[in-house]
């Protein structure tokens, strides 16, 4: 991913990601992809806050549809998808990595990962929650979501948000090694098993997609939510001094 400075998932970047995924899926010589970041120290800062602030309801609806599409397409991809997480990964960045089949995280205490939405005064939608529950179990997910926990590497591994923590210079090589193991499995059997495991979760969003968009638009248009997102963005900007 190369969308400096922080790989935020803007509408344009999400569209590019989806086009890239589609191209790779349509090229039958590809069987797996590794998602990693070209922005030093940052895997992805998550959803682009500027897409959710000070825009009109039509824009929010278009943006949310693209976020849903990203989740659906990556979560259900027939390819083996591995996240080589080489930086901090809050909220939407964590969600993207949770859609993958396996997560390798660099062992750097700055590289926290988690669904921290509550810290911004917003609520992770049910499909974010379901993805986390499927990964780490109900109790851990409930605690992580309510507290908006961002896990440093050792904690992320203990709770199961990531599958492996390795020295920073070994993230890519480990991801390639893991990919080789996954590609050794007969593809059709692996793909059908992935679908079996994930389809019920995806189906819930597919049947409630429009309602979920409307719910997001209603929520994000609230004055109180706009105020807290603006304040959060300002805080990020002022951090620099």
Ligand X SMILES: CC/C=C\CC/C=C/CC(=O)SCCNC(=O)CCNC(=O)[C@H](O)C(C)(C)COP(=O)(O)OP(=O)(O)OC[C@H]1O[C@@H](n2cnc3c(N)ncnc32)[C@H](O)[C@@H]1OP(=O)(O)O
From 49, 98, 114, 117, the catalytic residue: 117
208 φ, ψ to 5°? -115, 25
Helix (DSSP H) and strand (DSSP E) numbers for the chain: 10, 7
Considering the complex, state which of residue 117 and residue 130 has its C-beta at the smaller distance from ligand X: 117
**Is 116 part of the annotated catalytic residue set?**
yes
Binding site for ligand X (CB under 6 A): 5-6, 8, 42, 45-50, 88, 90-92, 116-117, 120, 122-123, 125, 215-216, 219, 233, 236-237, 239-240
Considering the complex, state which of residue 9 and residue 21 has its C-beta at the smaller distance from ligand X: 9
Considering the complex, state which of residue 32 and residue 125 has its C-beta at the smaller distance from ligand X: 125
Min. distance of Cβ 94 from ligand X in angstroms? 8
From 116, 132, 148, 205, the catalytic residue: 116
**Is 145 part of the annotated catalytic residue set?**
no
**Is 92 part of the annotated catalytic residue set?**
yes
CA-based R_g, the chain, Å? 17
**Is 192 part of the annotated catalytic residue set?**
no
Listed residue (93, 157, 128) closest to 215, CA to CA: 128
Considering the complex, state which of residue 188 and residue 240 has its C-beta at the smaller distance from ligand X: 240
Q: 3-state DSSP helix/strand/coil percent for the chain, to nearest 5?
A: 60, 10, 30
Distance (Å, whole) CA 20 – CA 15: 9
137 φ, ψ to 5°? 95, 160
From 47, 79, 145, 205, the catalytic residue: 47
Could you list the active site residues? 47, 92, 116-117
């Amino acid at each position: 991913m190369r969308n400096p400075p922080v790989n935020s998932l803007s509408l344009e970047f999400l569209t590019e990601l989806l086009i890239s995924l589609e191209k790779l899926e349509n090229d039958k010589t590809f069987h797996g992809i590794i998602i990693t970041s070209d922005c030093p120290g940052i895997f992805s800062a998550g959803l682009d806050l500027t897409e959710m602030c000070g825009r009109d309801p039509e824009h929010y609806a278009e943006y949310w549809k693209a976020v849903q599409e990203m989740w659906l397409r990556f979560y259900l991809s027939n390819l083996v998808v591995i996240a080589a997480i080489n930086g901090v990964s809050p909220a939407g960045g964590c969600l993207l990595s949770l859609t993958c089949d396996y997560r390798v995280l660099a062992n750097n205490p700055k590289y926290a990962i988690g669904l921290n939405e509550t810290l911004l005064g917003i609520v992770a939608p049910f499909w974010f929650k379901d993805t986390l529950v499927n990964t780490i179990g109900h109790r851990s997910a409930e605690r992580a979501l309510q507290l908006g926990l961002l896990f440093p590497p050792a904690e992320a591994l203990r709770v199961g948000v990531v599958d492996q923590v390795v020295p920073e210079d070994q993230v890519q090589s480990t991801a390639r090694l893991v990919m080789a193991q996954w590609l050794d499995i007969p593809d059709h059997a692996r793909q059908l098993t992935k679908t079996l495991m994930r389809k019920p979760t995806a189906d819930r969003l597919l049947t409630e997609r429009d309602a979920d968009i409307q719910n997001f638009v209603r929520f994000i248009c609230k004055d109180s939510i706009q105020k807290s997102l603006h304040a959060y963005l300002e805080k990020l900007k002022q951090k620099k001094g």
